[in-house]
Amino acid sequence: MIRLYSMTSKLLNELNPDQQKAIIAIDGPVLILAGAGSGKTRVLTYKVAYLIFEKHIDPTNILMVTFTNKAAGEMKERIKKLVPGDMPLMGTFHSICAKILRSDGRHINIPINFTIYDEQDQLDVIKDIMKEADISTKDFKPHALLTTISEAKNELIGPLEYPQLARGHFQETVARVYLLYQKKLIESSALDFDDLLSKTVELFTKHPDILGKYQEQFQYILVDEYQDTNHAQYVLTTMLSKRHRNITVVGDASQSIYRFRGADFRN
């Protein structure tokens, strides 16, 4: 607690005792579960300020993951007010992965200038494939196929693995479409949103040296809205925090608590 008294009075006055406790715990994993509006996001922004101001951590050694780009923008504004100067890397899992793939994706054959497809681009590809493969949109909704492909990607199940797991007519159709879909994306030098995550996991798995570089860089990792992370995001968080293990995650106590059971950063 004593250290907190040397922080600016502005910082101190704006936190309750529980929040202060969460902020000064900087070594090792910290999991904070609390209700909506209880000040979790505030803890994360102030913790970043604490790390920089009080612990003299280089901002470039801090990674902060937000749930939306809007949240990242708001957080940047909040942190700019608290700490002038260099900013930590802040953004959604997707935007952070896009950055990582732009600089290192070439190691898994991703072109530097890859395009990111939005949902409409994705649906256009699915519809083209359905036409070419003679799959009727009356039998299968393009959107349903896309959603199922997206779920597979977030579970880190690739197009070669999916057919082995597919059961029934719908999933077997998804398996066919998934293969063709991924082929088309590669031909167009495009990644979809889910690829941003799964390809980063692939990059880190195939190139431990590159993972090591990011593990070394991100000595402090903070994740907001942790209850909403999918499997790929969980794997990324675990990979990145494995070396320093200074990770703070906050989540809504009332939502999907069961997800936290698998989230053990002490390993």
Residue nearer to ligand ADP on the CB measure, 46 or 214: 46
Question: What phi and psi, each to the nearest 5 degrees, are found at residue 144?
Answer: -65, -40
Instruction: Return the bridge partners of 62, or none.
Output: 220
Question: Rounded distance, CA 259 to CA 31, Å?
Answer: 12
Cβ proximity to ligand ADP: between 38 and 95 the closer is: 38
Question: Which residues from 91-110 bind ligand ADP, rule CB under 6 A?
Answer: none
Q: How many residues bind ligand ADP (CB under 6 A)?
A: 12
Q: Which of residues 31-60 bind ligand ADP (CB under 6 A)?
A: 34, 36-42
Q: Which does 147 bind (CB under 5 to 8 A by kind): Mg ion, ligand ADP, none?
A: none
Q: Report the sign of the C-alpha dihedral through residues 8, 11, 14, 20, in that order.
A: negative
What are the tokens at 149?
């492909």
What, of Mg ion, ligand ADP, none, does residue 42 touch, CB below 5 to 8 Å by kind?
A: ligand ADP
Q: Which is nearer to Mg ion, 21 or 244 (CB)?
A: 21
Given the complex with Mg ion, which of 40 and 153 has the nearer CB atom?
A: 40
State the nearest-atom distance from the C-beta of 32 to Mg ion, in Å. Answer: 11
From CA 189, how far away is CA 88, in angstroms rounded? Answer: 30
At closest approach, how far in Å is the CB of 176 from Mg ion?
Answer: 41
Q: Which two tokens stand for residue 145?
A: 């196929």
Q: Could you give the CA distance from residue 242 to residue 236 in angstroms, rounded to a whole number? A: 10
The entry of Mg ion, ligand ADP, none near residue 37 (CB within 5 to 8 angstroms by kind) is ligand ADP
Residues contributing to the site for Mg ion (CB under 5 A): 40-41
Strand arrangement, sheet containing 247-252: 30-34, 247-252, 220-223, 62-66, 89-92
Of 45 and 215, which has the nearer Cβ to ligand ADP?
A: 45
User: Least separation, in Å, of the C-beta of 223 and ligand ADP?
Assistant: 12
Q: Using CA atoms, how far apart are residues 212 and 204, in angstroms rounded to an integer?
A: 8
Between 211 and 249, CB nearer to ligand ADP: 249
Q: What angle do CA 114, 119, 121 make, to 5 degrees?
A: 55
Closer residue to Mg ion, CB minimum distance, 90 or 210: 90
Q: How far is CA 248 from CA 36, 58, 171, 209, 244, in A?
A: 17, 17, 38, 24, 12
| Residue span 3-22 as binding mask against ligand ADP, x where in contact by CB under 6 A, dash where not | -----------xxx--x---
Q: How far apart are CA 69 and CA 172, in angstroms?
A: 35
Residue nearest to ligand ADP (CB): 39
Report in angstroms how near the CB of residue 224 gets to ligand ADP at its nearest. Answer: 7
Residue ranges binding ligand ADP (CB under 6 A)? 14-16, 19, 34, 36-42
